[in-house]
Structure 1
Amino acid sequence: MKPKVTIIMATYNRSKYIVETLNSIQSQVFTNWECLIIDDGGSDTTIDVIAPLLEKDRRFHFFKRPDTYIKGLPGSRNYGLDLAKGDFIIFFDDDDIVHPQNLEICVEELSKQNVFFCRYLRNVFFDDFDYNFEFSKEYTSFFVTKSHVEKLLINELPFNSCAVMWHRECFKENRFEEHLMYAEEWELYSRILSSDIKGISIEKCLFFGRKHANSNTGEFYNNNPIRRASKKEAILLVIKNLKDKQLLSSSLLRYFVTLATDFREYNLFTQIITLLELSIFERIKWQFFYSTFPLRLSVYKLKKTFRKI
């Protein structure tokens, strides 16, 4: 039977956690799925520890990323997208836990609504996971459209990589940028949403992310240069997409110029201004904003401290 949902899981040296993750997938209430496990060239015992599951449950499929896709999470996911057979696509990480109702609820929402994705809530956990799930189907929801792109980008409406189920049509002309080693989903998901599609966001937690220092996010906040350089490149790609679609508002530009103060080693501000081809007046205005931002931020923090006294 053709699977309704394709789960794409890129993996790299996660033999310690992946079996627990796959067990949570196997426990899904909705059963018509395939799970494509894409190995990104790991060197641990992942294939050995998952071999019994592969043998017992033929919905799991193991592949090694071919060299025609760039090494890394984006390339592995793109390979999975090219293999996928399902009408709906969802990305899961190899060290997290999936709520048993995840696929069931998302498929129901995508089937009854004229929407192209279903976004849901994600919580995080450390160490051992508490399997005391909440099984209610009572939750609020709201539609998400192109007008929410700014909220996605400033993380007011976060689109976590594993907290959205997509209609496969969303990837017909959209793929992950394979050279990005961080913020690749932030860039891609904002690009998809800016294409004027509608989705639904439900206020129910259906995914649980394991937090540890070896994750891409953990490495970024520990100032890993590869992750930081990738975020800089992702920012430029996002700005170019918004410019091409005439969606770059003044408030978003202010946000990106502010972000550029944290990427001075890459001269990001100059790259942004050059990309936008601004007039001389606009260049001067944003140069002043950029140059004075650290001072204004210090004054703001000082005032905030005095208010607490």
Structure 2
Amino acid sequence: MEDKWPLVSIIIPTYNRANLIGETLESIDNQIYKHWECIVVDDGSTDNTKVIVDEFVKNNTKFSYLSRPKSMAKGANSCRNYGYEKSKGLLINWFDSDDIMHPRKLEIQVGHLESTKFQFTVCQTLVFKHHIDNIIGLRCGKIYSKSFFGDFVTNKIKWLTQAPLFKRQFIDAHMLRFDETLSQSQERDFFIRVLDIVNDYHYDDTPLVYFREHNDSISHSAQTKDMLKSNFKVNYRALDIYGDKLNDSEKKVLKKGIKQVLKKTIQNKYFKLSNEILKKMYFHLSFRERLKIRLGVLLLKNIGKGDVLFN
């Protein structure tokens, strides 16, 4: 029966998730759709993550455990790319090691791709805290619009790494990989590049992913210099490369995001980074915007005020 359906490769980067990854892998093991492989790529865990994963590998050969090669940069993106290179599936689902799959996720999404000509399909995501029964709500109210490129760039629609199921031929045809220089906003960057390519995509408002909200997740941790740099890079890339696809209102949203990153770099005294941002943004700002930002930088550096000038 399995041979009649495409193999799905589920690729999971992990780092020190011994307390959570077991629940994630159990949700994969419980998938109604059975023709899958799950590749866990460890980013150098120092806890018992390997022990937990090895138990699943021992009980089910569909699971495999790999370590990120030392020749590759540390980070989840390298693990995602490495796992992809080792995968064999015609369909690809990147997933995270602290989240949970609905039992029918693969069944429903494979069905969508088999019955349509779309290159990928996206599902809804529910947020939970502590326990899957403690549902907080949807991660984002909308995952599709007719103006999907501009609306995704401006966060009017949104989904995370776990939600889409891709056709491998699409990923290979466009040489899509996660940017290994990014420590945050990597999925946003990846999906902006994806949406620039396609004319449309399939979506299903059924929640098939459970996103775990906890203090150790990247989205809830304090922003480091590298994270701020990554956020700037993704927003600037969208503005600089895809500006001709965006209207003035959408460009304004990107500029505001960049200004907020600039403000945080100054507040954290990352002055070299703030100067790099100012230099790159120079030709994307009007004369009035430049004066306003320069004044804001001056005030924030010297008296700790001027926040309003970054809006």
TM-score range, shorter chain: 0.7 to 0.9
171 and 272 in structure 1: CA distance in 2 versus 1, 3 angstrom threshold: farther
- Alignment of 1:39 onto 2:42: yes
142 and 183 in structure 1: CA distance in 2 versus 1, 3 angstrom threshold: closer
1:191–1:241: 8 Å Cα contact kept in structure 2? no
2:231–2:261: 8 Å Cα contact kept in structure 1? no
Q: Deviations over 1:88-135 (max 9, x none)?
A: 111111111110010011101111111011111111111122299xxx
- In 2, the alpha carbon distance for the partners of 1:118 and 1:151 equals 17
Give the deviation of 1:178 after TM superposition: 0.2
1:257–1:269: 8 Å Cα contact kept in structure 2? no
Partner of 1:255: 253
TM-score by length of 2: 0.81
Q: Which of the residues 82, 85, 89 maps onto 1:86?
A: 89
Q: Which moved more, 1:289-298 or 1:59-68?
A: 289-298
Q: Deviations over 1:53-110 (max 9, x none)?
A: 1011111011111123211011110111111211111111111111001001110111
Q: Which moved more, 1:164-173 or 1:94-103?
A: 164-173
2:129–2:213: 8 Å Cα contact kept in structure 1? yes
Equivalent residues, number: 279
Partner of 2:150: 150
- In 1, the alpha carbon distance for the partners of 2:254 and 2:134 equals 40
142 and 187 in structure 1: CA distance in 2 versus 1, 3 angstrom threshold: closer
1:116–1:170: 8 Å Cα contact kept in structure 2? yes
- In 1, the alpha carbon distance for the partners of 2:77 and 2:65 equals 17
Partner of 1:196: 198
In structure 1, stretches of 5+ residues that fail to align are: 133-140, 277-281, 299-309
> For residues 28-107 of structure 1, what are the structure 2 equivalents within 5 Å?
28-107=31-110
Q: Which amino acid aligns with 2:282?
A: I
SS class of match (1:261):
helix
- Alignment of 1:226 onto 2:235: no
Q: Which amino acid aligns with 1:258?
A: K
Identity of aligned residues (%): 25
- In 2, the alpha carbon distance for the partners of 1:52 and 1:254 equals 50
Q: Deviations over 1:228-270 (max 9, x none)?
A: 2221122222233314xx3233222211211122122325354
Q: Deviations over 1:175-201 (max 9, x none)?
A: 111010000110011111101342111
- CA RMSD after TM alignment: 2.6
1:53–1:60: 8 Å Cα contact kept in structure 2? yes
- Alignment of 1:238 onto 2:232: no
